[in-house]
Structure 1
Amino acid sequence: MVRHIIHRQKIILNLSKREHAGALQASVSNLMQHDLKAGIDVIFNNAFPEDKIIRIDKLQLNLGTINQQNFENEFKAQLLSELAKGLSQQKDNLSYADSAEELNREQSLINALIYFLEKGYLPWYQAITTMDDWETEILNNFTDREYQQFFSKVLLKQHANEVVVQRLILQFSDKFLGRLLSGAMPEFDFSWELIYNDMALVIHSFVKHSTTTVRNRIWQYILQALPDRRSNDISFHVLNKLSVYFGISGSDITPKKESKIISELKTNIIQSDFKKLIVCLKQKVKKDHHKKNRKSAKNIGGFNEDQSVADDVKVAAGVSTDPVDEGTILSGTDTIPDSESAAINEPDIAKDEQSSEKKEKPKPVQRKKDAQIIAGDMLFVNNSGTIILHPFLKAYFESLGLLAEKKFISDEACQRAVLLLHYLATGETKVAEFNLTLQKVMCGYPLDDTLPDEIRLTEKEITESENLLGAVTNYWVPLNNTSIQGLRSSFLQREGKLELRENGWLLTIEQKTLDILLGKLPWGISTIRLPWMEQLLNVDWY
């Protein structure tokens, strides 16, 4: 794991003659990328203890006058010497310096986690490549104190930022969510992961929705309920909301099915709550049947319509003299609001429970603009070479039915396009959202909006993706004999830096020896503006 990270470095050389500028610039670039790395690493190691995280806002070094005849040796010596002095001074002044911050590892992880949940990308100081690695690091370092701190900072404030809860559900595993909740609320004496598994078992016993749909809805209701519910009723509250959302009725429950489900449940709390739910659902069936009979009696006569309306209002308000108050549990006050009823976007964008037929021509979705990025902010991105594919993307997305009038037909279509760009560059169908920053920009998708972490490809998408990549190697003569994987590893999978400027985005891509072949590329890549993009993407590569 990388211990030391330099966010940005700027080197200013004052020269006596302009004609030497190019050669010295190349020399300094080579020194910083290669020769000085080991020496700088040693100085950082010596300056601060390994168990502490120190963030220095800015460190300015003056290397003095350097003899041009011995430039490289003197530059290296002066930089390492001044760096050691500068860090020593920062260390001495750490307790009261505004330009430096000292954190423990756990606090740094909390800050990075909250940052990601709010923004959708990582802070510059967080060097993580996969979600599995990050989950492992968090779980290995968090104690109950960190879990509870996270809970109070994020989950208790979820109503102010719904995307935080959605991103937490979509991006993190069931194991992580279960451990997170167990650590945040140790007074709840049960395993949240087992609770989730049992709830999923109950729902899947009655409905044929996709695993992803059920999974996301369960965690959403759990996280929504936590701030306001007591431990002795939270799981029943969630089970009830799930039964409403998925349309489970008491008439669906036979004694045989009830017995089978209960025998398969692993936790006592869900066994108990499921039995309680069955009673409520069956009582509601009886009440609905009774109301239906009363309405039929209206046509015969002797029916007090005003009293019927009053009774219905009582039921909706939760007024009941029954042993179990299903009015409170299953009344209209507990139905899902419109803003809540739209399922969290799922990796299974095909949505197996919906009809694939379009009744009318889709209209392009209007995208919002990113508001949280400040000009000058720098974001580190992966697979920067994806921009090479830009001339083919419009036809590619149109062939897959994602575009209408040069715009994406829906949020789901735009999300799918983002994930397809990652697949084109890597051949992978699962990806952490923090590795999709550039792909979001290229698809005009807001950086702070979340999206699924996986895509289930159709045969057509696989075929069209292979055709696109094959077309690139066919048109790009030096790569005529290069495989798709060779194209990906040599050019598409490049690290880069993305920066928002006044005239749009600037993408700076790491350079390699092979980049000389970019001169033979039969289309330009210096400026990119696809029809659905809100801003220009300027590229600094070759």
Structure 2
Amino acid sequence: MGKNKAHSIQKVQVEIFTSSIETGKLMERDMSSFIRTRIFPLIEQYLDKLESKLDNRFLQIPHLSLEIGFARNEFPAIADLEVQIDAQMNEVVEKIPAIAYQKDSFQLLKNANGQLRNNLPVENFLSENETEKVLLLENENKDFQAWIYFLEKGELPWWYPEVKARINFQFKTLKLFLENDFNRNTLWQKIAANRVFFNRLLSQYSGKEVRELLWFVLGDKVPMDRLGFEHIHKKIFSNELEVVFQIFIGISHYQEGKPFHEIPIIRSLIENGIPEKLFAAVNAVVQDTLTESELTIWRSFFDEFNNTITGEKVYQGSDGAEAQQVMIDPLDRSQKNDGESHYLDHAGLILIHPFLKAFFGDCGFLDQSGQLIEPELAVHTLYYLASRQVAPFEFELVFEKYLCGLDIHQPISRNIKLSRRTREKAAVLLESLLENWNKLKNTSAETVLNEFLTRSGKLVLEDHQDRLFVERKAQDVLLDGLPWNLSIIKLPWRKKILMVEW
């Protein structure tokens, strides 16, 4: 990884093609130094020049493939490298129409460029699909964009650091994001269109925070004042909040003139129904607090809702055909697992895999058949075990969810309370790990936590097996004395085998 104050390279993968195995091995030996001392500085130099053309905007390039042609079986000189890298970086920049820059300011000398390009493959180094993913964001808005990505995916975009997310995703900061009209409208559209997005928003913030946030977004879009909005929430139980929020989001879009079949969150309400008592409570407040014009909109909304449920009205498309029903699944099942990668902070938790089932049973998280009945508690307990922290955001729980057999993309509540008994049992588990690992018997639990459990890694989900890559450190020589298998693992709640490279 290479970083300076302005630029960040998150991941580097190197492939060497040479006609000589001996030459390839020599290059492999020196490749790390070559990339660090020659390639990175030239990329940084190019980006420094480009930065003045970005007009204080933020450029994301998810995949950048640089192919370096070697005239001889040795590393190219700096001058040759600069020409090759600049030529390929220009191809990326030229495909981003939003960047207004003088083309000749990055133009290379034709003779030098033409001579060295003969050593490179003829194909473009960046596919069309990858080009479409290159994003140019307003610099001051990248925090909000990262938050939206998190609510969609449950994890952070590759370019956004966790340390910033833990600060900027707090509720107080979110209110600053939403002072921007464009941001408020973006959130308004997202919460109505994507059920997973909406559920994750509910799971990451308290009911009070979500209520305040939604009013901030919906206040000028619903036919009701703040007093009526708050009055409804006083009349309902906390477990009914989700449905009430859906009603308000739905009517805000309905008031804009959208038909029901074009508002996914209303389709969800229709499919699941509104409890009779809740419907009556909302209707009573509506009758008591609204003006006549506001009441007309609510009556129209409820009438159309009831007609749709009872089948008295069939929505027609513009061509007269019945509109296709919008189905909302709690999880996005269209996502393919094959090759899907996730970066982890607590990859070292794989060390405790032999103890997991007994540990969860001791905590009361399993039923009599050994299946998890408290998966969210189990996930938060593993996070506490590795960090001694509580109330993590979901993006911090990727591997913990995997170890507990949960879908990686499944929203999981942040507001889970761990009992003192559960925390004590987590401490006992660490002691058991030390007792069974002879080389660490005289080591403190805190050392194991910091030096082994808290470890960066990458989880790759594939069709037939999954793979875990764990960052290697000097102290890992102690793993040789581990009395259990750490290469091929079958977790109790996973169908596929996990292959570990540590």
TM-score for the superposition, normalised by structure 1: 0.63
Q: 404, 412, 436: which is aligned to 2:367?
A: 404
Map of 2:467 onto structure 1: 506
Once residues 453 and 44 of structure 2 are traced to their aligned partners in structure 1, the CA distance between those partners, rounded to angstroms, is 29
Which residues of 2 match residues 413-428 of structure 1 at below 5 A?
Answer: 413-428=374-389
Once residues 190 and 25 of structure 1 are traced to their aligned partners in structure 2, the CA distance between those partners, rounded to angstroms, is 67
Question: In structure 2, do the counterparts of structure 1 residues 107 and 202 end up closer, same or farther at CA, with 3 Å as the change threshold?
Answer: same
AA paired with 1:165?
F
Map of 1:467 onto structure 2: 428
Question: In structure 2, do the counterparts of structure 1 residues 54 and 115 end up closer, same or farther at CA, with 3 Å as the change threshold?
Answer: closer
Indicate yes or no: 2:479 matched with 1:518. Answer: yes
Q: 347, 359, 374: which is aligned to 1:384?
A: 347
Q: Contact 1:116/1:122 (CA < 8 Å) preserved in 2? A: yes
Which residues of 2 match residues 321-470 of structure 1 at below 5 A?
Answer: 372-404=335-367, 407-410=370-373, 413-470=374-431
AA paired with 1:222?
F
Once residues 135 and 332 of structure 2 are traced to their aligned partners in structure 1, the CA distance between those partners, rounded to angstroms, is 35
Indicate yes or no: 2:57 matched with 1:51. Answer: yes
Secondary structure of the 2:446 match is helix
AA paired with 2:356?
L
Q: Contact 2:147/2:169 (CA < 8 Å) preserved in 1? A: no
Question: In structure 2, do the counterparts of structure 1 residues 428 and 9 end up closer, same or farther at CA, with 3 Å as the change threshold?
Answer: same
AA paired with 2:346?
N
Q: After superposition, what is the alpha-carbon deviation per residue over 1:286-308, rounded to whole angstroms, capped at 9, x for unaligned?
A: xxxxxxxxxxxxxxxxxxxxxxx
Q: Which residues of structure 2 form unaligned runs of 5+?
A: 99-125, 256-273, 290-297, 307-330
Shift of 1:466: 0.7
Q: How many residues in Structure 1 have an aligned counterpart in Structure 2? A: 408
Map of 1:134 onto structure 2: 169
Which residues of 2 match residues 145-164 of structure 1 at below 5 A?
Answer: 145-152=182-189, 154-158=190-194, 162-164=195-197
Shift of 1:189: 9.8
Shift of 1:167: 1.0
Once residues 497 and 235 of structure 2 are traced to their aligned partners in structure 1, the CA distance between those partners, rounded to angstroms, is 49
Question: In structure 2, do the counterparts of structure 1 residues 457 and 2 end up closer, same or farther at CA, with 3 Å as the change threshold?
Answer: farther
Shift of 1:468: 0.8
Q: Contact 1:196/1:218 (CA < 8 Å) preserved in 2? A: no
Q: 248, 251, 255: which is aligned to 1:225?
A: 248
Q: After superposition, what is the alpha-carbon deviation per residue over 1:404-462, rounded to whole angstroms, capped at 9, x for unaligned?
A: 3664243xx12221111111111112111112111121111112221111332223312
Q: 168, 188, 201: which is aligned to 1:168?
A: 201
AA paired with 1:88?
N
AA paired with 1:524?
N
Shift of 1:389: 1.0
**Which has the higher mean CA deviation after the structures are superposed, 100-109 or 390-399?**
100-109
Map of 1:14 onto structure 2: 17
Secondary structure of the 1:403 match is coil
AA paired with 2:12?
Q
Question: In structure 2, do the counterparts of structure 1 residues 243 and 415 end up closer, same or farther at CA, with 3 Å as the change threshold?
Answer: same
Shift of 1:397: 0.8
Secondary structure of the 1:439 match is helix
Q: After superposition, what is the alpha-carbon deviation per residue over 1:225-271, rounded to whole angstroms, capped at 9, x for unaligned?
A: 3222689xxxxxxxxx89946999xxxxxxxxxxxxxxxxxxxxx9x
Q: After superposition, what is the alpha-carbon deviation per residue over 1:62-86, rounded to whole angstroms, capped at 9, x for unaligned?
A: 2424654xx5xx5877656533332
**Which has the higher mean CA deviation after the structures are superposed, 38-47 or 487-496?**
38-47
Map of 1:85 onto structure 2: 87
AA paired with 1:94?
I
Question: In structure 2, do the counterparts of structure 1 residues 134 and 25 end up closer, same or farther at CA, with 3 Å as the change threshold?
Answer: farther
Once residues 445 and 76 of structure 1 are traced to their aligned partners in structure 2, the CA distance between those partners, rounded to angstroms, is 49
Q: After superposition, what is the alpha-carbon deviation per residue over 1:338-382, rounded to whole angstroms, capped at 9, x for unaligned?
A: xxxxxxxxxxxxxxxxxxxxxxxxxxxxxx996513422322222
Once residues 158 and 371 of structure 2 are traced to their aligned partners in structure 1, the CA distance between those partners, rounded to angstroms, is 30
AA paired with 1:449?
Q
Map of 1:62 onto structure 2: 68
Q: Contact 2:204/2:415 (CA < 8 Å) preserved in 1? A: no
Shift of 1:224: 3.4
Once residues 85 and 44 of structure 1 are traced to their aligned partners in structure 2, the CA distance between those partners, rounded to angstroms, is 13
Q: After superposition, what is the alpha-carbon deviation per residue over 1:97-148, rounded to whole angstroms, capped at 9, x for unaligned?
A: 9425343237766665454334322333443344442357655455112211
Secondary structure of the 1:404 match is coil
Q: 529, 532, 537: which is aligned to 2:490?
A: 529
Secondary structure of the 2:61 match is strand
Indicate yes or no: 2:488 matched with 1:485. Answer: no
AA paired with 2:442?
N
Q: CA RMSD in A?
A: 4.3
Q: Contact 1:403/1:409 (CA < 8 Å) preserved in 2? A: yes
Question: In structure 2, do the counterparts of structure 1 residues 66 and 475 end up closer, same or farther at CA, with 3 Å as the change threshold?
Answer: farther
Once residues 5 and 487 of structure 2 are traced to their aligned partners in structure 1, the CA distance between those partners, rounded to angstroms, is 31
Once residues 90 and 469 of structure 1 are traced to their aligned partners in structure 2, the CA distance between those partners, rounded to angstroms, is 49
Q: Contact 1:384/1:492 (CA < 8 Å) preserved in 2? A: yes
Map of 2:154 onto structure 1: 120
Q: Contact 2:346/2:453 (CA < 8 Å) preserved in 1? A: yes
Q: Contact 1:62/1:82 (CA < 8 Å) preserved in 2? A: yes
Q: Contact 2:203/2:415 (CA < 8 Å) preserved in 1? A: no
Once residues 174 and 81 of structure 2 are traced to their aligned partners in structure 1, the CA distance between those partners, rounded to angstroms, is 36
Shift of 1:387: 0.6
Secondary structure of the 2:395 match is helix
Q: Which residues of structure 1 form unaligned runs of 5+?
A: 208-213, 232-240, 249-269, 278-324, 334-367
Question: In structure 2, do the counterparts of structure 1 residues 408 and 41 end up closer, same or farther at CA, with 3 Å as the change threshold?
Answer: farther
Secondary structure of the 2:162 match is coil
Structure exhibiting the larger radius of gyration computed from Cα positions: 1
Q: After superposition, what is the alpha-carbon deviation per residue over 1:182-203, rounded to whole angstroms, capped at 9, x for unaligned?
A: 24553569997x9887766666
Q: Contact 1:384/1:438 (CA < 8 Å) preserved in 2? A: yes
Shift of 1:390: 0.6
Once residues 195 and 431 of structure 1 are traced to their aligned partners in structure 2, the CA distance between those partners, rounded to angstroms, is 33
Once residues 175 and 69 of structure 2 are traced to their aligned partners in structure 1, the CA distance between those partners, rounded to angstroms, is 43
